[in-house]
Chains A and B, each alone.
Chain A
Amino acid sequence: MSDKIKSSSLWSDAWVRLRKNKLATASLFLVIFILIACFILRWFLPHDPNFANLEAKFQAPSFKHWLGTDQLGRDLLARILDGGQISLLVAILATIITVFTGVIYGSVAGYIGGWVQNFMMRIVDGLLALPFLVIVILMREMISVWVESGESFFTQSLRMDEDFVRRFANIIPLIFAIAAFGWLSMGRIVCTQAANLVQMEYIEAARSLGLTHWTIVKRHIIPNLLGTVIIYATLTVPSFILYEATLSFIGMGIEPPNSSWGMLIKEGANLIEIHPNLLIFPAIMFSLTLFGFNFLGDGLRDALDPKTAKD
């Protein structure tokens, strides 16, 4: 019972601290707004993001097309929200995989300790020393082969919608390629934290009371790691959004007919001299999202971990 009261007050304290931080609160609302816009409002727009109308290409922002139209006469606002959906989906799904992998790997390593921890962290160090972008590009190409060979199973045997399957067949390799090497920092952070926790007296007390390893990990280690994991996951999302955009920009990520912020910025960059709008609007949305997640992550760090808070 007392355990419950204590843990709830920790979270409510953190919430109060977060609300006091104006920048972090604003970022929280910004992030929520962007998520709602891309995942919900996008379906209520009057324009289809893929509807091309060559007679209405390169229009300036107007009442009908709020942000104007692109080189094929598609509504830019609809394209930005549609692209954001893919960008955010890739980043968030990859982050979820990262969190699970990193927490399991890190807490096992930290809880066991000794040479096992040393060995497991050496592997992480070795993988972290690889050139990330290079290996992600190769991984994505490799996973694409596997996904493509499974594509017909979903379209023919399960009779799923072909467009839907193709849409996912393009983003899944990207998600797994980013997550395959993206969990390493999470694993390291969790491991350090878990190794510190294991040495705490209350863990020793729990052990001497005869609790099983699993119960200790579930009841004591993971709840105490939660703060760190939430902070780090919030900061992982923008870095994955950035990776997705980078890969799409060099033509190694999202492919047409799908679009993402990276694709839109790439298309805009090609046309910047004639129609800078096509670069500037997607770039504003993209950068606002990164700002939001980064400031929210910083704010969460200050709120959840007041000891290490910046002054």
Chain B
Amino acid sequence: MIKAILSRIAQTALVVFLLVTICFFIVHALPGNPFEGEKAVSDVVIQKMEESFGLDKSKPVQLLNYWSNLFLTGDMGMSMNFKGTPVSTILGQSFPISFQLGLVAMIFGCGIGMPLGIIAALYKNKFPDYLAMIVAMAGICLPAFVIGPLLQLFVAKPIPFLNIAGWMQPQDILLPALTLGFGVAAYIARLMRGGMLEVLGQDYIRTARAKGVTTSDIIFKHALRPAISPAITYLGPAFAAVMTGSFIVETIFQIPGMGQHFIDAVIAKDIFLILGLVLFYGILMGLANLAVDILLLFLNPRLRA
């Protein structure tokens, strides 16, 4: 089991390494110059700036420098857009915000999706099932950029406790997280329904029923653990989707997270900030998938061989 986890970590490291390397070359192929702002800048100044960021060297040397700085000193370079601010400082400010948002969104997603899926499976082809599945389909077909503004208009505006946008008070996390979590809830509900239906058709559930085990015991003690696997498998990609999906939600609710920085960095061709963010997103996705694999090993003893 430890061997399996170690090989997953090695795989993740390889993927992140390749990701940053590919992005390095893509970023350099982008049009424009990071030092060209609204003001006209003379060629001499641009040349000096490029030298100070090490951009005058050949591409492979630059790439080598980037990796060696990262590994030896943990230095991710300086942002070019925010003059002289280290990328690590920007990430240090924005990452906790995006991460909190993602985490609360996942809690909303599981908290809404799982009960919905279980209820749908228990009342298969009856009214609660149809209702739950319509809600689930709505979550898939109504994307964050439709739900977000609607929540702002119909929920945040009438309730004085909630702000329409911004990131000042603790309750400001609720609506953005709900917006992000709704899509996750929809997928989890569908997966949970499928998983439950499959398990509820098994012989051992019929045996338990025949023995007179109560319905709630059948659900929580016998059915839930095997039925939850497909939903858990989805949590890894879901967390990744939530982290990148925060691009939209951060734009709508004006949250100073990683997504906003990424969009601004791409527009400004802020090379080191883009690379730093890509690195972070890659590591986050790898960790999410790893966590899911480990969770599945605990849930399903047969995988542990």
List residues of chain A with CB under 8 Å of any chain B CB: 126, 129-135, 137-139, 141-142, 144-145, 148, 238, 242, 245-246, 249-252, 262, 265-266, 268-269, 272-273, 276, 279, 283, 286-287, 290-291, 294-295, 310-311
Contacts and interface: CB of A to CB of B under 8 A. Distances in A.
Interface stretch (B24-32, B58-66, B109-117): B24-32
A120 B146 CA distance: 38
Contact of A126 (B18, B157, B274): B18
B189 interface: no
B282 A287 contact: no
Contact of B142 (A130, A133, A251, A287): A287
B14 A250 contact: no
Contacts of B141: 238, 287, 290-291, 294
Given A130-B19, A131-B281, A272-B152, A265 B146 contact: yes
Interface string B234-268: 00000010011101100110000000001100100
B149 interface: yes
Contact of A269 (B18, B157, B252, B282): B252
Given A130-B282, A250-B251, A138 B27 contact: yes
Given A131-B282, A250-B248, A287-B142, A142 B30 contact: yes
B289 interface: yes
Nearest to B152: A272
Contacts of A262: 145
A144 B285 CA distance: 27
Interface residues of B, number: 48
Contact of B281 (A134, A246, A294, A311): A134
Contacts of A238: 141
27 contacts: A126-B11, A126-B14, A129-B12, A130-B285, A131-B244, A131-B285, A132-B244, A134-B244, A134-B262, A134-B281, A135-B19, A141-B26, A141-B266, A142-B26, A148-B31, A238-B141, A246-B143, A262-B145, A272-B152, A276-B153, A283-B142, A290-B141, A291-B137, A294-B137, A294-B140, A295-B137, A311-B124
A309 to B, nearest CB: 12
Given A129-B15, A130-B282, A138 B146 contact: no
A273 B289 contact: no
A141 B252 CA distance: 23
A8 to B, nearest CB: 32
Given A132-B244, A249-B251, A250-B248, A279 B140 contact: no
Given A130-B19, A131-B240, A276-B153, A251 B263 contact: yes
Name the residue in A132, A148, A249 with the highest tally of chain B Cβ atoms < 10 Å from its Cβ: A249
Name the residue in B31, B145, B148, B262 with the highest tally of chain A Cβ atoms < 10 Å from its Cβ: B145
A141 B18 contact: no
Given A131-B281, A135-B23, A138-B26, A126 B15 contact: yes
Nearest to B157: A273
Nearest to B25: A142
Nearest to A249: B145
Contact of B244 (A133, A148, A276, A311): A133
B17 to A, nearest CB: 11
Contact of A134 (B18, B278, B289): B278
Nearest to B258: A134
Given A138-B26, A272-B153, 17 more contacts: A129-B12, A129-B15, A129-B286, A130-B15, A130-B282, A131-B240, A131-B244, A132-B244, A133-B244, A134-B244, A138-B274, A141-B26, A246-B145, A269-B145, A272-B152, A290-B141, A310-B194
B197 interface: yes
A144 B31 contact: yes
A266 B145 contact: yes
A101 to B, nearest CB: 18
A138 B153 contact: no
Nearest to B154: A276
A145 B29 contact: yes
A111 B24 CA distance: 35
A142 B23 CA distance: 10
Interface in B114-151: 124, 137, 140-143, 145-146, 148-150
A139 B26 contact: yes
A217 B294 CA distance: 39
A242 B244 CA distance: 14
B143 A242 contact: yes
Contacts of A283: 142, 146
A252 B145 contact: no
Contacts of B277: 134
A131 B149 contact: no
A22 to B, nearest CB: 13
Contacts of B22: 135
B149 A279 contact: yes
B32 to A, nearest CB: 9
Interface string B150-172: 10110001000000000000000
A279 B148 CA distance: 11
Contact of A287 (B11, B124, B146): B146
B226 to A, nearest CB: 18
B136 to A, nearest CB: 11
A231 to B, nearest CB: 16
Contacts of B240: 131
A141 B26 CA distance: 9
A180 to B, nearest CB: 11
A286 B27 CA distance: 32
A238 B143 CA distance: 11
Contacts of B124: 311
B233 to A, nearest CB: 13
